[in-house]
Amino acid sequence: MIFEEHHLYHFYNQGNNREKIFFCRDNYLFFLKKINTHLLSYVDVVAWCLMPNHFHFLIYVKALELGVKPSLEVKASLDDTNRRTLNDTIGLMLRSYTRAINIQQNRSGSLFRNPSKAECITKSDGITPSFYNTATGTRLNITVPEKEYPQVCFDYIHNNPVAAGLVNQPEDWEFSSYRDYCGLRNGKMIDKERAKEFVVW
């Protein structure tokens, strides 16, 4: 994936062969803990949704590379100037989650499709145009896509569980940032101040 600092990205992936990646509530919570541990130093999360066989994150990239302290196992061979990129960290996080699920489910091999996707939605040359339906047909939204596509993506992420038929209202799905935005939960993962730069809720 190609990231640039100070841009908003729709980061997503799904289970290999569209199979499940979350098998129980604890799996969702474990994945969120991994996001918190590995990614929040690099990104601000604007929106997220975890679905049984895929995930979506709307992230603002703060840093592409950070210094990391080596783990105890490798401390003897590395010094504190070790660097890790955002891509490295995403790979580490997904591999770590895959190992845990493979043990839990007595399975082997890749859990996620390769590669993960990250689409920049704040650069006009990297934006997929958004379409909307009207009584007279489908229209292309072309006014200011770098301002409007973040809102389209934000709404799409939060409405995913409704579109999939899992719940009737987005606030009924536990594993989404929608509950934080509508005041039903005070989660710490999303950055509402950052979100104000791009979306309205």
The per-residue pLDDT for range 178-192, each reduced to its tens digit, is: 999 999 999 999 999
Please tell me the CATH code under which domain 8-195 is placed: 3.30.70.1290
Residues 6+ apart with CB under 8 A from 162: 168, 169, 170, 173
pLDDT tens readout for residues 12-59? 999 999 999 999 999 999 999 999 999 999 999 999 999 999 999 999
Q: Give dist(CA 2, CA 150) in Å, integer.
A: 18
Q: What is the pLDDT of residues 141-156, one digit of tens each?
A: 555 555 688 999 999 9
Q: With beta carbons less than 8 A apart as the criterion, state whether 122 and 146 touch.
A: yes
**Which runs of consecutive H residues, i.e. helices, occur in the chain?**
25-38, 86-105, 145-163, 178-181, 192-195
Domain ranges, ordered by start, for the chain: 8-195
Q: How far apart are alpha carbons 147 and 1 in whole angstroms?
A: 23
Q: What is the DSSP letter of 89?
A: H
